[in-house]
Homo-oligomer: A and B are copies of this chain.
């Protein structure tokens, strides 16, 4: 299979583009992680989100430990071809390692970050 579509993206010197996972049904932004070429190729092949873990320096099949995989319904890129958008079905409804639906649970209110989304599952129950 040709990988011309991968070449079309503007990969930077460090080889990593930001990738947004958006809940396909609700439109909620679930998380942002990073992808290198191999991660994006694997995501397209599997139909599940695979990122590049900057902390662990390896491919990260999202949900491999937690079971909270992301089924990829659509892959998009922007006008500059340097950001990836995945429209996904989030297994278990939990994308965040804190046990919340979305990683974007901190909201700026009166000059302070406040956690405004509930923890749906104790992380100790997710990562056993």
Q: Interface residue count for A (Cβ, 8 Å)? A: 38
Assess whether A59 is interfacial by the CB under 8 Å rule. Answer: no
Question: What 0/1 pattern do residues 81 to 92 of A give for CB contact below 8 A with B?
Answer: 101010000000
The smallest C-beta distance from A31 to any residue of chain B, in angstroms, reads: 7
Number of copies: 2
Contact A79 B98 (CB under 8 A): yes
Contact A96 B79 (CB under 8 A): yes
CA distance A31 to B108 in the complex (A): 20
A15-63 interface with B by 8 A CB criterion:
18, 20, 22, 26-29, 31-32, 44
Contact B8 A113 (CB under 8 A): yes
> In the assembled complex, which residues on chain B have CB atoms less than 8 Å from the CB atom of A81?
106, 113
12 further A-B contacts with Cβ under 8 Å, apart from A29-B85, A75-B108, A77-B113, are A8-B113, A18-B32, A26-B27, A31-B78, A76-B106, A77-B104, A78-B96, A78-B103, A79-B96, A79-B105, A83-B104, A85-B104
